[in-house]
Amino acid sequence: MASPKFPEPPRALPPTSTEDIDNALKRLQASKDKWLDVSPEKRVVLLQECLKDLMTLSEEWIGQSCKGKGWERGSAGEGEEWIGSFAVVVRGIQMMIEALKANGQPKIPKTRKRADGQEIAEVYPRNFLEKVLLANVTAEVWLEKGKPLTQGHIYRTARDQQSGKVALVLGAGNQGSIGPLDMLYKMFVENEVVLLKMNPVNEYLGPYIVRAFRALIEGNYLSVIYGGAEVGKYVCAHDMVDTIHITGSCQTHDAIVWGSEDNKASGRRQNTKPISSELGCVTPMLIVPGDWSAAELDYQARHVVSMVAHNASFNCNAGKVLVLPKNWNLRDKFMDRIKHHFTANQPRKAYYPGAHSRYDQFLKHYPNAVVLGERSEDVVPWTILPDVPAKEDEYALNVEAFCAVLAVTHLEEYSDATDYLNKAVDFCNDHIWGTLSMTLLIDDKTRKSMGTAFDDAIAKLKYGGIGVNAWAGVVYGLVTPTWGAYPGHTLEDIRSGKGVVHNGLLIDHPEKSVVYAPFTIKPTPPWFCDHKNLPGMGRAFTNFESTQSIFSVPRLALNAFKG
């Protein structure tokens, strides 16, 4: 398949001057205690203004995103921008409005408790409309063991026990929704005013964020700045910045915290500010053996390809390692369908810096790579790394590709599906880098045969976001679950990071979030890259989230069935 011609990206924006940064921080410092006195009712009004302003910008926002990433209008890539870049921000604002109306204690639909006492809250669906949106899809937040189920810590804490803070949010370059959602979390869940630094990769969305969140900026509760590493270094060290949140790489995190490898080795922190982070993952897709039909094999092959291909594979939760049972009688047929759907998938622009050099490193380590397409200056072709050894320190299991690469590894010794699942869980926990996200695919019959052993296996998984028959990216997109690494990482060994964001029901002490979906879904789920009407679906989904109205359902259903 020939490489398409991609649209020209937007022009780069000039970095914010140190004088303007200083002035922005002075305004935020002057307002950080005033923010604590803004009542939930007033915060609702501010967010309603932001939502109204955001919706007026939808087409401009999407147009710039498409230019920045090389998507043609009308393509699946445009649809991904509607759903993953724009609509989830709309949903995030709506979630926060509802939480504030409940004074930080929004209703939890259901709860359950495991035999060991661990509390679990079902956070999706919350109402009839959400049941319509994704039928038979549920989401849970699991609390840290021994912790009670409480919500909205800052809204339960007396004002005189709180002090204002200025948070620096270092935005990510791959998804336009990350910066705004991280900012909303810091402001409305952690009670901090925010300096949002745009990443140079998608800084073109900065002016739209400024317009959308005008109500917060005019109150001096938010400011947006631009620039690369030098600006980032300046603001991280600034004495008017109290806390930092970063979405990025563990290398960038360590450069902020430690400054050098020598400092890290000796325990001398360069930056002592409190820092939270989401730093990526080598996301596994764990396949539990079962007797799948030809239609189910094809559906799950499309699913796997979609988890890799979404956003040209520039996602921290992109599927990166396919964990297969070696002796599964359908393994070869499954791989054939995966190759088929990769080959049928339109090449995407490798818009994220460094993609080609990262790709070359994987080719160097795996000369038997199966390349499914043509490489060009703009394209890194879909590539499978077959028979990656399932062993300690294996390159593809420990280095996040962040490009169009899928590693395939196999587990050999197991007696049945339950034994395989338990061994595969241990393998993912112990031998694949990162704890942010993972996906587990299992047919209904096999899952039911396991009884409580399946829930026990989920309990063992040390990942912050888990998708059962759904891409882990759905955990991110629903916003009601938490999003972040499994707890316990130290600054010395940060891996996927510390802390969470999203958390639409403001649940305290989360351990992980799990989304459950049927083994197959009809019509085609909106996270499938071969959805035939993804832009239409994205617009309808945005309208649904902005109105929260039963009258928006017919339009949504019509566009969904066109997929």
Extract the tokens encoding 325: 């049972």
Residues 523-541 have a mean pLDDT of 95
Tens-digit pLDDT profile for residues 249-268: 999 999 999 999 999 999 99
Alpha-helix residue ranges (DSSP H) falling in 15-138: 18-36, 40-56, 58-69, 76-80, 88-101, 128-133
Q: Which residues are CB-contacts of 4 (< 8 A; sequence separation ≥ 6)?
A: 72, 346, 347
Cα separation, 193 vs 472, in Å, equals 30
Strands (DSSP E) found in 448-509: 465-468, 482-484, 500-502
Q: Which residues are CB-contacts of 358 (< 8 A; sequence separation ≥ 6)?
A: 401, 402, 403
The three-state secondary structure class of 124 is: strand
Instruction: Report whether pLDDT(534) > 80.
Output: yes
Extract the tokens encoding 265: 């080795």
Tokens 């401009």 correspond to 60
pLDDT on residue 7: 83
Using CB atoms within 10 A of its CB, is residue 455 exposed (0-12), middle (13-18) or buried (19+)?
A: middle
Of 228, 233, 221, the closest CA to residue 186 belongs to: 221
Q: pLDDT grade, residue 3 (50/70/90)?
A: low
- Region of poorest pLDDT, from 5-14, 194-203, 454-463, 523-532: 5-14
Instruction: Report whether pLDDT(160) > 60.
Output: yes
Tens-digit pLDDT profile for residues 445-485: 999 999 999 999 999 999 999 999 999 999 999 999 999 99
pLDDT on residue 561: 86
Tens-digit pLDDT profile for residues 307-317: 999 999 999 99
pTM above 0.95, yes or no: yes
| Fold (CATH) for 283-475+488-499 | Aldehyde Dehydrogenase; Chain A, domain 2 (3.40.309)
Alpha-helix residue ranges (DSSP H) falling in 409-552: 417-431, 444-450, 452-460, 473-478, 534-547
Of 118, 119, 121, the closest CA to residue 110 belongs to: 121
The three-state secondary structure class of 187 is: helix
Beta bridge partners of 194: 167, 222
Tens-digit pLDDT profile for residues 277-301: 999 999 999 999 999 999 999 999 9
Tens-digit pLDDT profile for residues 410-419: 999 899 999 9
Extract the tokens encoding 429: 């926990």
Tens-digit pLDDT profile for residues 59-108: 999 999 999 999 999 999 999 999 999 999 999 999 999 999 999 999 99
Instruction: Give a three-class secondary structure readout of 412-438.
Output: CCCCCHHHHHHHHHHHHHHHCCCCCEE
∠ at Cα 282 (455, 328), nearest 5°?
60
Residues 354-363 have a mean pLDDT of 98
Tens-digit pLDDT profile for residues 481-511: 999 999 999 999 999 999 999 999 999 999 9
Q: Which residues are CB-contacts of 451 (< 8 A; sequence separation ≥ 6)?
A: none
Beta bridge partners of 512: 142
Instruction: Report whether pLDDT(2) > 70.
Output: no
Which residue ranges does the chain devote to CATH 3.40.605.10?
A: 18-106+152-278
Which residue ranges does the chain devote to CATH 3.40.309.10?
A: 283-475+488-499
Peptide bond into 7 cis (omega under 30): no
Instruction: Report whether pLDDT(438) > 90.
Output: yes
79 or 132: which leads in pLDDT: 79
Tell me phi and psi for residue 253, to 5 degrees. -55, -50
Q: Which residues are CB-contacts of 555 (< 8 A; sequence separation ≥ 6)?
A: 540, 543, 544
| Fold (CATH) for 18-106+152-278 | Aldehyde Dehydrogenase; Chain A, domain 1 (3.40.605)
Of 432, 427, 441, 439, the closest CA to residue 514 belongs to: 439
Residues of the chain with pLDDT > 70: what percent? Answer: 99
pLDDT on residue 1: 45
Distances (CA, A) of 272 to 269, 494, 510: 6, 15, 25
Q: Are 473 and 464 in contact (CB under 8 A)?
A: no
The bridge status of strand 319-325 relative to strand 465-468 is unpaired
Tens-digit pLDDT profile for residues 164-219: 999 999 999 999 999 999 999 999 999 999 999 999 999 999 999 999 999 999 99
pLDDT on residue 8: 84
Q: Are 186 and 167 in contact (CB under 8 A)?
A: yes
Residues of the chain with pLDDT > 90: what percent? Answer: 95
